[in-house]
């Protein structure tokens, strides 16, 4: 309803002076009825009962229907001449996709089953797959990392292939112990920086701190920011449920601080997910943030309304002529 109100209140006319024909037409109709119509010739019938019984009678409510159509045609033609234009917000079909890399931690610690019976990895992968399904217009790729990182799937619009490749993953997928967050960011950035899209994002999911690789997460985040890549980090695991609790280890606290710094440097945002619901919510928030950002950069469309008005006028004119010559014929 709000969108319809926006369209109606935003209608503009290129030639509004044509609208003056409408009151002139009304004045001409009144004059015609008052002076000329009374004196027009007619055919005198001794009785109209025979005509009614033959099916020529029309309900009084609809007897003026052809005349209403006649005036509606006139109004539509005048409106078309005035050059109306209506603003339309960008729709989902107008949305240009962006390039997104997902970096998924496959270290052994992601095998911990603290997500309602699911492991951290399974919960993260399921949430990522739902995120992918919600963005059919985007090119999305997948990087996996533990002590090192590599591209499991390059940027692609074929999300079925991406999901099939993701389904074959599991913690310990390759034999490099540790968690190299900085290396994962560099691998994803190298994929994104060559992409043609102006909008690029990286979603990184992990449950720990950076303890492998030769590049720190902060350094990698600065490089990503230089190439226009926003990084959304998701800190997954039971440690995220009550991070402020003193029972949290120094390691988990350091890992969260690193992820916050990475998101801040690159212009993204950091999320904590202590359970499966938190994971799903984190990805929904990322999806909403990226869609809002993209729509904010897209100009609204302006549609010329005169072709539709003229087409409607022609169709109604044919209908008026057909009805006037058949069911609603007047003598004279």
Residue 106 three-state SS: coil
Quote the pLDDT of residue 47. Answer: 55
Instruction: Please give the DSSP secondary-structure letter assigned to residue 95.
Output: P
Q: What tokens does 254 get?
A: 């350091």
Quote the pLDDT of residue 66. Answer: 72
Query: Number of helices and strands (H, E) in the chain?
Result: 11, 9
CA–CA distance, 196 with 297 (Å, rounded to integer): 17
CA–CA distance, 14 with 307 (Å, rounded to integer): 14
* Per-residue pLDDT of the chain in tens (332 residues, 90 and over written 9): 555 666 666 677 778 888 888 888 777 777 766 665 555 555 555 555 555 565 555 555 556 677 777 778 888 888 888 888 877 655 544 455 789 999 999 999 899 888 878 889 999 999 999 999 988 888 999 999 999 999 999 999 999 999 999 999 988 877 788 899 999 999 999 999 988 888 899 999 998 889 888 899 999 999 999 999 999 999 987 766 655 444 444 556 787 889 999 999 999 999 988 888 888 889 999 988 887 666 545 455 677 887 888 888 888 888 877 776 676 665 55
What are the CA-CA distances from residue 148 to residues 64, 179, 204, 212 (Å)? 81, 7, 14, 8
Quote the pLDDT of residue 93. Answer: 46
User: Nearest CA to 309 among 113, 2, 93, 18?
Assistant: 18
Phi–psi pair at 290, nearest 5 degrees = -70, -40
Q: What is the pTM of this model?
A: 0.61
User: In three state form, how does the secondary structure of 186-223 look?
Assistant: HHHHHHHHCCCCCCEEEEEEECCCCCCCCCCHHHHHHH
CB atoms within 10 A of CB 264: 16
- 193, exposed or middle or buried, with CB in 10 Å at 0-12, 13-18, 19+? middle
Domain-wise residue ranges, the chain: 2-89+301-325, 99-297
In b/e form, how buried is each residue of 241-262, taking b as 16+ CB within 10 angstroms?
eeeeeeebeeebeebbebbebb
Q: What tokens does 32 get?
A: 């015609």
CA–CA distance, 30 with 246 (Å, rounded to integer): 86
Strands (E), the chain: 12-13, 84-88, 99-105, 139-145, 149-156, 200-206, 229-236, 269-273, 301-304
Q: Give the architecture (CATH level 2) of 99-297.
A: 3-Layer(aba) Sandwich (3.40)
Q: Is the separation of the CB atoms in 174 and 148 below 8 Å?
A: yes
Quote the pLDDT of residue 332. Answer: 54
């Amino acid at each position: 309803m709000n969108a319809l109100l926006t369209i109606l209140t935003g209608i503009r006319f290129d030639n509004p002076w044509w609208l003056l024909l409408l009151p002139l037409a009304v004045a001409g109709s009144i004059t015609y009825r008052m002076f000329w119509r009374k004196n027009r010739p007619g055919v005198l019938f001794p009785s109209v009962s025979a005509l009614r019984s033959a099916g020529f009678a029309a309900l009084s409510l609809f007897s003026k229907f052809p005349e209403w159509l006649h005036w509606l045609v006139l109004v539509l033609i005048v409106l078309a001449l005035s050059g109306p234009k209506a603003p339309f917000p960008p729709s989902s079909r107008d949305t240009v996709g962006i390039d997104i890399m997902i970096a998924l931690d496959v270290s052994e610690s992601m095998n911990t089953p603290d997500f309602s019976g699911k492991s951290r990895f399974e919960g993260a992968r399921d949430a990522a797959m739902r995120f992918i399904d919600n963005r059919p217009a985007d090119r999305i790729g997948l990087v996996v990392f533990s002590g090192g990182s590599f591209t499991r799937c390059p940027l692609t619009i074929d999300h079925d292939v991406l999901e099939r490749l993701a389904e074959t993953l599991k913690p310990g997928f390759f034999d490099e112990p540790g968690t190299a967050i900085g290396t994962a960011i560099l691998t994803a950035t190298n994929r994104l920086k060559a992409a043609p899209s102006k909008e690029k994002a990286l979603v990184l999911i992990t449950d720990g701190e950076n303890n492998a690789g030769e590049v720190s997460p902060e350094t990698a985040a600065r490089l990503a920011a230089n190439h226009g890549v926003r990084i959304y980090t998701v800190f997954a695991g039971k440690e995220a449920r009550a991070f402020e609790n003193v029972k949290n280890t120094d390691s988990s606290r350091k890992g969260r601080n690193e992820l916050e710094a990475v998101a801040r440097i690159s212009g993204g945002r950091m999320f904590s997910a202590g359970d499966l619901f938190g994971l799903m919510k984190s990805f929904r928030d990322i999806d909403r943030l990226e869609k809002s950002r993209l729509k904010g950069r897209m100009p609204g469309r302006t549609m010329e309304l005169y072709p539709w008005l003229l087409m409607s006028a022609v169709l109604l004119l044919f209908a008026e002529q057909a009805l006037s010559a058949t069911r609603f014929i007047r003598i004279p």
